[in-house]
């Protein structure tokens, strides 16, 4: 059965494009769109001759570091399939606004199919046997399609997203975006499997809701402190008192946290170091 890989060049522009060019055939799904100017950071569809080839193995490694590929089983030819996938890239947001839809991000694929609704999602998957992705999972997940080759589209699908749908999508994407920001700032180690980093980040992000932090900058600051001083840093009496005062005042997190004396943070840092050393003593290897 014909196998394709859909690769998001924006995650690893030089590496993804170089590997895709080693495929038997490849197409830029952005062809003819303004986004085509992204060059190596474009979206690519490539035919996979040998799933165990060196270039596919390297793409698989990149995907585990940062989700960037999904696999498509379809009888549609590569040109027809690339054109078909392009028809779902732009959504109408109302008020004469439109936006590129990154439905192909493996972390967002299932969410977008849900937001699109049965009709649009059915059209997108109609010419596919199956669509496989990992995203936030360690294993491949599969979405079954209609396997109808004649159902490929050559004209834009009618995709409309309202504010409620956008809010849902933003809430879904926020953890990944915050984790990316923490990696960029050197707070989180960006090496190793993405799933491991995300699983370590998620409990910190979920505890943000405990303190009613709604501003993105406050949520990000809380997560940063959680990495610096440990997951339970907010249980320190003075930190907890500052967070409770913030809840009552409704002010920004920094207005209360930054007023804490230095000895609070020094104590938390010392305790964090002792915790990591104890882990090393028990396991015989450095704590993480």
Beta carbons of 194 and 66 less than 8 angstroms apart: yes
How do the pLDDT tens digits run along the chain, 288 residues long?
799 999 999 999 899 999 999 999 999 999 999 999 999 999 999 999 999 999 999 999 999 999 999 999 999 999 999 999 999 999 999 988 999 999 999 999 999 999 999 999 999 999 999 999 999 999 999 999 998 877 899 999 999 999 999 999 999 999 999 999 999 999 999 989 999 999 999 999 999 988 999 999 999 999 999 999 999 999 999 999 999 999 999 999 999 999 999 999 999 988 775 454 444 443 333 332
Predicted pLDDT at 204: 95
pTM over 0.85: yes
Beta carbons of 94 and 166 less than 8 angstroms apart: no
The whole-angstrom separation of Cα 234 and Cα 240 is 5
Q: Which two tokens stand for residue 69?
A: 């590929």
The whole-angstrom separation of Cα 108 and Cα 104 is 7
Cβ contacts of 120-127, under 8 Å, gap ≥ 24: 120/88, 120/157, 120/158, 120/159, 122/146, 123/88, 123/151, 123/153, 123/157, 124/85, 124/88, 124/157, 126/151, 126/152, 127/74, 127/75, 127/76, 127/80, 127/81, 127/84, 127/151, 127/152
Predicted pLDDT at 273: 52
Beta carbons of 7 and 66 less than 8 angstroms apart: no
Could you tell me how far CA 73 lies from the centroid of its own chain? 23
The whole-angstrom separation of Cα 112 and Cα 173 is 11
The whole-angstrom separation of Cα 78 and Cα 55 is 18
Predicted pLDDT at 265: 93
151 by Cβ neighbours in 10 Å (0-12 / 13-18 / 19+) ranks as: middle
Predicted pLDDT at 149: 74
The whole-angstrom separation of Cα 10 and Cα 278 is 41
The whole-angstrom separation of Cα 144 and Cα 242 is 50
Question: What is the residue whose two structure tokens read 């990000």?
Answer: 220
Predicted pLDDT at 275: 52
Could you tell me how far CA 67 lies from the centroid of its own chain? 7
């Amino acid at each position: 059965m014909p196998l394709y890989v859909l690769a998001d060049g924006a995650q690893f522009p030089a590496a993804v494009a170089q590997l895709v060019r080693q495929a038997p055939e490849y197409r830029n799904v952005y062809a003819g769109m303004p986004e085509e100017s992204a060059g190596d950071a474009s979206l690519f569809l490539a035919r996979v001759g040998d799933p165990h080839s060196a270039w596919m193995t390297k793409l698989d490694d990149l995907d585990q570091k940062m989700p960037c590929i999904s696999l498509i089983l379809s009888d549609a030819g590569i040109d027809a399939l690339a054109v078909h996938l392009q028809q779902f890239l732009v959504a109408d947001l109302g008020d004469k606004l439109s936006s590129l839809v990154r439905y192909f991000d493996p972390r967002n694929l299932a969410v977008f199919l849900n937001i699109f609704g049965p009709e649009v999602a059915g059209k997108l998957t109609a010419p596919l046997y199956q669509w496989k992705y990992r995203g936030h999972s360690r294993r491949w997940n599969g979405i079954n399609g209609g396997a109808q080759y004649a159902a490929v589209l050559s004209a834009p699908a009618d995709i409309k997203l309202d504010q409620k749908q956008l809010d849902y999508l933003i809430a879904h994407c926020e953890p990944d975006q915050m984790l990316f920001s923490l990696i960029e700032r050197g707070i989180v180690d960006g090496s190793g499997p993405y799933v491991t980093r995300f699983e370590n980040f998620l409990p910190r992000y979920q505890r943000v809701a405990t303190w009613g932090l709604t501003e993105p900058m406050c949520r990000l600051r809380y997560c940063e402190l959680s990495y610096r001083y440990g997951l339970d840093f907010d249980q320190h009496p003075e930190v907890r008192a500052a967070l409770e005062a913030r809840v009552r005042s409704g002010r920004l997190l920094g207005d209360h946290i930054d007023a804490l004396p230095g000895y609070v943070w020094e104590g938390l840092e010392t305790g964090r170091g002792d915790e990591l050393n104890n882990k090393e003593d028990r396991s015989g290897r450095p704590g993480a």
